[in-house]
Structure 1
Amino acid sequence: MELNLIRQEINELTLVSKDPNTLIQTLLEIISQRLQIQVGLWIPLENFPNVSYDTLNLLDSSQLASLEESIKIILLSNSSSEPEKKRSVLAYLQENFDLPYWEICPISAVDSQGWLILGSKWNLGWNHQLEETLATPFCLAIKTAKLQYQTQKNERYKRLQQQVIEVIHNSQDLETILQSAIADTAQALNVTRGVVFMLRYSEPTFSSRRQFSNPDITVQGLTQWAQTSELETELTSFPLTESANFLQAWQQAPTPLSLISLSNQSTEPSCLKMPYSMPSWLITPLMGTSRGNPDSQMVLGLLLLQNQTIRKWQQEEQEIVSWVSTQASTAIIHNKTLQRVQSLVDERTSQLQRSLDVQAKLYETSRHQVQQLEELNQLKDDFLATISHELNTPLATMKMAIQMLQKPELSPERQRVYLNILDQEWQREHNLIKDLLTLQKIDNEGLSLQVQSIYLKELLTSLGEEMTTKWQRKNLGFILNDETNLAEEEVLQLYSDLESVRRVFAELMNNAGKYSSEQTTVEVVISQSDYHWIMISVSNIGHGISPAEQGYIFERFRRGKGATQKAIPGTGLGLALVKSLVEHLHGTIDVDSEYSADGLGKTTFYVTLPKSLNNV
């Protein structure tokens, strides 16, 4: 009668139940309470949670889990018959529980297999009656729970697929994609731990993997997920041959490797060993692109799922994990392709940038050359115009003087005037030609220097007197200052080429007078900052030289705009000749000028010469 009531309660509970775990747990409690038993166990032989009921608190949760797994190992043994399994389970229970009586009932129906195990302090004596009475309602309840469990599982798998697709779509970071994929997969399958490993080949293997027992492949742990942090391990790299299970999974790829009750894990690499036993492994390969023959298809990595309790990996579970591995493999291939494309784009961009830089430099060089050619062409025009003017003007003047001298009625006084003009213009023409020839000679072969003793103050004084005569029209003064601080008995001497020194300061003093404002003074200063060197500066007051023009005043045939606009005579050779001569004398020349529109700017040329060319 009691069994019929239990049967009725089971049927009523099955009709109203919504949760599979609650349904089986409540069924076990009803049976245990109605039959007044102390321990109840439901051990399913499929991938369904174990359920227990213990009124005596004989075992804690970890001991109970170990007990359930041990019983499941016995029941899953294919080598034993049903009576032998019963005897083995009974012996194991009597060894671990202090209860004398046990009922061990196999409950079997289509798609529902498991064992109902009841322990009591007294003999229930029901055996076959218990099986026959409870088998049908219990199987119905299990089927209902299994259907509910399957529905929930399908929803988890669907959500898993959505999550994997979403993270692949939204992220470009491969490690983020794989971390999310392994975490979502492990949680959807309710496994203890999941790890993604990548394979690094020393040489790619394209023939059949089954022929390779010792491949040179390194396994590198990339990312992991675990139910608790204490179940995580440090991910390191190791040779593929150090793990027999990984080697087998690599050889039989693309088929996943399912390990239900792996007992010996001591030989595995450290990152695969856990603080707690992980008897159930599912190793799914991450495959590369197809090459026709699956055995020659490259394995990119391995996706490992580990469970802390024994579980049989269902076909649908392996299929969903294979689907995840396919998506992950596609993401890996896509990522590597993007990296190669990006690398190629970067290389091409770099090449293009270098090409553009070269073209820009060539363009800038060409533009600069064109600009130089234009400047040179302008200089040539200016030179030709200047030389033409400087050569023709004296010739025209000389021709006019000759024509006047040919007149018979010309008085002796006028003859002397025209003879002086003829002499001056000849001297002007001679100096111009002489300057050109001197520059040409310096450029081609240099001047032969005649080193002799030069009394510098006497030379500069003599030049000053000559220039003062020329400067009478502008009423210019001349001052020579000696700042060498020599004793009265000492005479300042240079040992250099007299002709070159004379021409340098004659040109500088001539220029100073030419560009001076009226009623100003040209000042020459001699100083000695070093025992071996003398500095002579030539200064004048005038409009000065603009900063832009100071950069090229020592170039040949280059004249300042002010000189040209004011029609100051000159060829643009004077300062170029001075610079060449100074450098030929192993000296230097510099200029400092203040430009002034009202003619009050000071311009100073500094010439530094060695006291003796014999010591240079």
Structure 2
Amino acid sequence: MKKPLWSPRLYVDDVDRLQTYQVKLMQHQEETARQLVQKINQVIANTSATALMLQDIAQLLGSAFQVDCCCLVSVTGDTSDEMTTINWCADEYLGLPHPEEMFSMEQLLMHSPVLQCAAEPLTIEDISIVQNSLVIGCQYLPLPIKAVLAIPTRFGENNNGVINLIKFQPYDWSESEKQLLKEVESACAIAFSQVAQAKLITHQQQYLQKGDQYQSLIKQLTLLNRSNLELNQMLQLVIASTAESLQADRGLLILLKYTDPLFRTQGKKQVPKAKARVVGEWAKAAQISRTTKSDTLVDQSFLVSECSLCQRPFIDSGKAVIFDNYTEQNDTSAAAPLFAIEQLPGVLLVPLESQGKILGFLVLQQATTRTWQTAELELVEMVCAQVSNAIIQSQTLRQVQTLVDERTAKLQSSLELQRKMQEKTRQYVDQLQKLNELKDEFLSNMSDRLRYPLTNMLMSIRNLRLPGIAPERQVRYMDILEQECTKEINLINDLLTLQKLESPHEAPQLESIDLNTRIQFIAASFEKKLAEKGLKISVDLPEKSLKLQTELESFDRILQELLTNACKYSQHDTTVHLEAVHQLDQQIDRVIIKVTNTGHAISEEEATYIFDKFRRGKGRWTPGTGLGLALVKSLVQHLNGAIAVESLPISDSEQSEICFTLTLPQFSDESKP
């Protein structure tokens, strides 16, 4: 009897074998994944160069999945410049030419058999990063792409890369391959994070290096500004330092010479009549031979009206001109030939400006397209500002130097005169300081001289108002009022007289007087006052009476003030001597009057200022305003005379003889005005 073809026992055995196979298959896949992850971790740990690390990982993945190509893309930003791409292809596909027809990215994304993702479902961010990785990483593959299995990697909750497994023939990806790719995703994410970290460190190092270069450039410019270099030499060093620090292919410094002196008064957005001349040039060694035929561009010139590139700052009100590629937007023939736009299309032209006037341009050029960073533009603008200041300073110095050269001889001859004038100025300053002190002293004295009489007058008035006051006391108080009023009036009159004498005034009103008679009269009027102080007066006059042409009022006031001064400062129980003589010397006819008293000596220093207003001798506490001798001097000068003082020590005594000598001209009747 034949056994049945199928039995429950056989079914159970098949199921057991299938389950055993699936378990072994899962164990094999787990072992494969574990080994692959272990190898990737070893590559990460043992490889310091990130490019070599990604290359080894791509080879491991390509071999493990048996694909035609493995593309690893490390993502650190949103632009292609911030992505690192590594492709590994099987040996049989290396060296094949790039095909003319390939699947576009739209075709890869539209046809699901072509592109599959192991990390489904995909987010919008996942789709975007996969698309960018395919566009950037697969554009140079040797054959058309027929199948792609991709997975985005995540590190720290952010996408940081994409793993692309590529077949150049149609292929259906198995679930085991998708699961294996998921298993290695985390290890690859670590590798991509190291790539990002290395790139960040590189960027920071480059940033620091640029910062050091910029600091070095600023220091160089500062030293150049402080140096004594000629302007053209300094400009050459400036453009060389700037272009080299900013890694430009060529740098030019151009200055303008205006032929229209009224250009600055014209409207804006007008191109001036000006000639541009190159004063500084720097170029990389590789650029010199293919950009210019001559050895240097320095001193070459062109008209601004013939160069559209140099007209831009005038049209745009002094703004910088920036072209990533001048040939794509402009007619290159419109620029001056020396710019060699065809070879150096990247242009940065910044005007050198001072007080609204463009002095020239700083030009940096590139052989390839270049996007200038904000920090670089700010640095160039700073350089231009310093260069503009240096140009203005140089022009000013040249003008000043011309004037200095013209006047050097005159200045040398007048140095001694200047020194003397400075000394006199110092003396004047000292005098002004002393006068300021005198002013303070005068105000103090004047306040006292004004206050005390007013106080006495006020007290007399109050006492006069008291009821029942005796007639004799009324007379006494009235006398006090009259005396104090007289003092105030005399003080004010003295001040007015001084002011009048110091201002332009008329000539003295001369009249003929008997000198002997007038002196005796004045001396007699002082006898009582001198006697009250314990003093005597002696008068020594010529036997023959002298006639003097003078102004009577001024003459009397001079003698009265001299006698008043002698009365104040004479030693008790001494005699005041008054002497007058006539003198004729070398056709000069004059009268000399001397007033001599005994008192404290007058020092040489005091003698220099004793006739000045508000000045009083040191250590003399007699009340007064310091106006008496100043008034004497002014009156003497009014009469065309002179006055001097002399202090002669007396032997065996602490006192001295103080002699005031008054000299007045003696006019004849014929010379009388």
TM-score for the superposition, normalised by structure 2: 0.36
**More relative contact order in 1 or in 2 (CA 8 Å, sep 6+)?**
1
